Amino acid sequence: MSNVLLITSSPRGADSLSTRFATEIAEGVKARLGATLTVRDLAADPAPHITAAYIQGRVTSPEARTPQQVEAVGNAQTLVDELQGADVIVLGSGMMNFGPSSQLKAWFDHVTWPGVTFSYGTGAPQGLLTGKKVYLVTAAGGVFSEGVYAPFDFQTNYLLHLLGFIGLTNVELVRIEGTVLGPDAVRAAITKAEATVQSLLTEAA
Ligand SMILES: Cc1cc2nc3c(=O)[nH]c(=O)nc-3n(C[C@H](O)[C@H](O)[C@H](O)COP(=O)(O)O)c2cc1C
């Protein structure tokens, strides 16, 4: 049986469009594949900021770790286990100050783990989470896919880079843009996202 992992990270609660459409994709893929669904809601249950206990703990053998290191590495291991166990990953992200939310950054700081999710063993960086399908849903108040703000998209470009760095290169991107540009822009963004999601779900069948 396939496993779908839904990760949401916008702090805007029920107003979040990235959460809404990421959830729609995850539920749709689950239904079409007859898959299980695991939900990691980083707004409701944030990963802590990484600490010295985590950074030192992950290069210390398990039997030599302090209690703080055991806990910190255990937190990261739980998040990595979810990724490793997933066949399909759906990631929702809302732009906060030109980048992803700090909740999502903290999650990446845990799962970007040398020797576990990436390696420099061959000299060049190699992502270790291979063979998985990713749906990335990004929402932003402005328009960043084109135009004068395109150079300032430190959300989508950053997320695509980090996903690829840990081996997640098979990514379908859904951009929801212009969500603070007034009701007409929001309606247009939602209509476009709905059509994109339906088309992706048809392909997933
Ligand atoms: C604290 C905060 C910071 C934001 N920063 C930006 C920003 O830098 N650029 C932008 O275009 N929109 C910004 N926005 C608008 C959000 O990107 C927009 O509401 C988007 O829809 C959020 O994603 P969500 O709908 O998934 O919550 C910000 C919103 C909040 C609440």
In the chain, what is the greatest distance between 2 CA atoms, to the nearest angstrom?
A: 59
100 in ligand 1 pocket by Cβ < 6 Å?
no
Answer whether 112's CB lies under 8 Å from 166's CB.
yes
17 in ligand 1 pocket by Cβ < 6 Å?
yes
Domain 3-204 CATH class label? alpha beta
Q: In angstroms, what is the span from residue 117 Cα to ligand 1's centroid?
A: 29
Q: What is the pLDDT along the chain (205 residues), one digit of tens a residue?
A: 799 999 999 999 999 999 999 999 999 999 999 999 999 999 999 999 999 999 999 999 999 999 999 999 999 999 999 999 999 999 999 999 999 999 999 999 999 999 999 999 888 899 999 999 999 999 999 999 999 999 999 999 999 999 999 999 999 999 999 999 999 999 999 999 999 999 999 987 6
178 in ligand 1 pocket by Cβ < 6 Å?
no
Domain residue limits, the chain:
3-204
Residue with the smallest CA separation from ligand 1 atom 19 is 141
Q: How many CB atoms lie within 10 A of CB 66?
A: 12
Report which secondary-structure segment, H or E, holds 37: strand 36-41
DSSP state, residue 123? S
Give the whole-angstrom CA distance, residue 121 versus residue 143: 39
